[in-house]
Amino acid sequence: MKKFLLIGCLILITACQPATAAQDPTPSFFPTSTLPPSPIPATFTPEPTSTPTPSPTPFPRLFTNEFDSSLEGWVILQAGNEVIPDIKNENGTLVLQMDSVHTWLYALYGAQDYSNVRVDTQFTNRALTPSSAGLICRYSEEDGWFEYNVSSDGKYNVLYGRWLSVGIPEYLPIVDGTSRDIQPSGTTQKIGLACLDTTLLLYINDTLLRQVDVSRYELTEGKVGVSASSYENTPIVVGLDWVTVSEP
């Protein structure tokens, strides 16, 4: 399963950051703004027939993303090493391919923060090598995040992750176990994670697997997302058919 101390993190895609956004003095894993800037007002009076430039449409709060378009609004982080993975949309599927061992990818929805929320995804481990897919809630760059992982060998765990410094994450195990409901590689399956006050609800194939008390960590809100991990063997190819963010 996942090692509890990793060195190395690389921002691969910051789809929700404008190209001209100002950079903070301290490196940040998230852009300072998740929406495109509003158009700069004109310094002259427009002609009566001019059509005003519309304001940008905010990113949705509750949605289903079937990955049939761009990853606008999402940020992809990598931990473990700096070998760039292959990330692409393929026939309505977000494909995460890792050809390096001990690599962890995070696709985080950077446009909104959530307190109580549920995240679901349907995925397939397309390779036969051991790997895991997971869900993230209450991600905060400063305070940490909750991570629910399901492995192709029938195991699962919940971790509390946090950045010790830029590029150095730490993972603290909260719970782990095994379940017969977790399917092997090559099988399409669904997982769900609900963050409700001080409790995490873990789902596998629409079945409630476990309830976890996380009151001691005092995480109240943050971003949501999905993850994929490689272990000792490669390649790893995880295909995500869709992600749904909804009320818990």
- pLDDT score of 15: 44
CATH code of the domain made up of 9-18+59-246? 2.60.120.560
- pLDDT score of 18: 37
**Whether pLDDT at 29 is above 60:** no
User: What are the boundaries of each domain within the chain?
Assistant: 9-18+59-246
Q: Write down how long the chain is.
A: 248
Per the CB < 8 A criterion, the answer to whether 238 and 124 are in contact is yes
**What would the pLDDT profile of 80-139 be if each residue is shown by its tens digit?**
777 777 888 888 899 998 888 888 889 999 999 999 999 999 999 888 777 899 999 999
Helix (H, G, I), strand (E, B) or coil at 33: coil
- pLDDT score of 246: 98
| Whole-number Å distance between alpha carbons of 144 and 170 | 9
pLDDT confidence bin for 190, thresholds 50/70/90:
very high
pLDDT confidence bin for 56, thresholds 50/70/90:
low
Query: With pLDDT > 90 as the criterion, what percentage of the chain qualifies?
Result: 50
DSSP state of 5: B
- pLDDT score of 4: 42
Question: Residue 79 CB: number of other CB atoms within 10 A?
Answer: 23
**Whether pLDDT at 48 is above 70:** no
Whole-number mean pLDDT of the chain? 80
| Whole-number Å distance between alpha carbons of 189 and 170 | 28
- pLDDT score of 121: 97
**Whether pLDDT at 22 is above 90:** no
Helix (H, G, I), strand (E, B) or coil at 215: helix
- pLDDT score of 31: 35
Rounded mean pLDDT, 165-192: 89
